[in-house]
Amino acid sequence: MTWRIGTVVSTGRTWRGARELEVTLDRPLPGRPDDERTARALAYTDLVGDPAPGDTLLLNVSALARGLGTGGYALVVGPASPGTPLPPDPEPGPGHLVKARYTPLQAMVLGVDEQESPHHTTLADADDLAGMPVVVADLHSALPAVVAGLRHAPGGTDLKIAYVMTDGGALPAAFSRTVATLRDTGWLHTCVTVGQAYGGDLEAVTVHTGLLAARHVAGCDVAVVAQGPGNLGTGTRWGYSGVAAGEAVNAAATLHGRPVASLRVSGADPRDRHRGISHHSLTAYTRVALAPADIPVPTPDDTVENLPAWGHDLTRRIHRQTPALAARHTLVDVPATAALLDTLRTSPAGLRTMGRDLDADPASFVTAAVAGLHAHDLTTTPATVTG
């Protein structure tokens, strides 16, 4: 981001929730002469108030500094005092993707798929994942469990795993301690942030280019697609951010990957709509996902099924709910064993979902892990080539 302090000279047009301003910058934009210090600014009045002439403001001028015409504003972040110390201007470099667009904290990044990227030629006509397995999950908390499942089988620790972070939850990848820990410990090879999410090892415009970058730029064997931390739900059929899991299945299939739809399952959630298979998974995979996917279903051994918050009743409930999924997808029974549970306990990133850890809600993490385990099996099975 490029920052400036600005003093309001005059106010301009206003419309619902916004006001234009003319401001004088404390110093010119990079590469501009010293006498060019006037800029148009935009204040979102519901967020930062309604500035008046003479007010001193903190401004995000990143898009102006790059000469991007869209918007054409310095964006008001909030009030400031003259002389407030600011971070230095970033070094000049490529990249004109704007993420968290038109918000006061929009960020400029270099997209792996844009013209200034050294990988643009690779991705310009890329259209095929060549059968790469793509595990799709609703919640960010499923990520370390899916990765544990991928690593559980022999040879799993050699897999190069990409996390494609969508923008349904947190936008900055840096907000996720899970991603940082998995990257630092080598459990995760690459993080690709797509849509409005930013801060990954690679930045991409869409889930499609994020998946293609994971395969053709990062050279990964498998990808996990899930939103960042901070699931949004409203208790309605369609009003939840995880509905995008169905669209991710479609993207993986369109690009000739092998989608694996991880179920959101709970044996401890007090809300009936999330007990067994969550209505989030049922809606996303039966109503939104138009392409078929493999859906791994855990078949617990005695050790796992006798865990607290699991039990025979939960297993029966899960199997009563699966016929709705079988109409379009392929259900795959995957053993959920005590050994898999042991692998989950070795995760360097904490396992916690909706405030519950592995012991409080083992079904959540075991179900995500069997999705990873099945995806691992797919990496050893040649993809079927269709006409």
Question: pLDDT digits over 62-81, tens only?
Answer: 888 888 765 679 999 999 98
Q: Is the pLDDT of residue 387 over 70?
A: no
Mean of pLDDT values over 137-151: 97
pLDDT tens-digit readout, 330-348: 999 999 999 999 999 999 9
For the domain made up of 3-108, give the CATH fold.
Answer: OB fold (Dihydrolipoamide Acetyltransferase, E2P) (2.40.50)
**Higher confidence at residue 375 or residue 102?**
375
Return phi, psi of residue 89, to 5°: -60, 140
Confidence of residue 53 (pLDDT cuts 50, 70, 90): very high
Q: Confirm whether 3-108 and 121-379 share one CATH topology.
A: no
For the domain made up of 121-379, give the CATH fold.
Answer: Rossmann fold (3.40.50)
For the chain, the structural domain boundaries read 3-108, 121-379
Please give the share of the chain, as a percent, with pLDDT higher than 90: 77
Q: Is the pLDDT of residue 385 over 60?
A: no
Is the Cβ–Cβ distance between 224 and 176 less than 8 Å?
Answer: no
Please give the single-letter amino acid code of residue 289: A
Check residue 282 and report its DSSP letter.
H
E strands, 180-220, are 190-193, 202-203
Confidence of residue 236 (pLDDT cuts 50, 70, 90): confident
pLDDT number for residue 67 = 80
* Structure tokens given for 299: 């078949």
User: CA-CA distances (angstroms) from residue 150 to 96, 215, 245, 260, 347?
Assistant: 35, 17, 19, 12, 12
**Higher confidence at residue 60 or residue 98?**
60
Check residue 288 and report its DSSP letter.
I
Three-state secondary structure call for residue 195:
coil
pLDDT tens-digit readout, 182-235: 999 999 999 999 999 999 999 999 999 999 999 999 999 999 999 999 888 888
Q: Is the pLDDT of residue 29 over 60?
A: yes
The span from the CA of 304 to the CA of 319, in Å, is 16
DSSP H or E run through 212: helix 207-216
Please give the single-letter amino acid code of residue 103: T
Please give the single-letter amino acid code of residue 159: L
pLDDT number for residue 97 = 84
Alpha helix locations (H) across the chain?
45-48, 62-65, 120-124, 143-152, 177-184, 207-216, 244-254, 279-283, 302-305, 311-321, 323-326, 338-345, 362-379
pTM above 0.85, yes or no: yes
Mean of pLDDT values over 362-383: 94
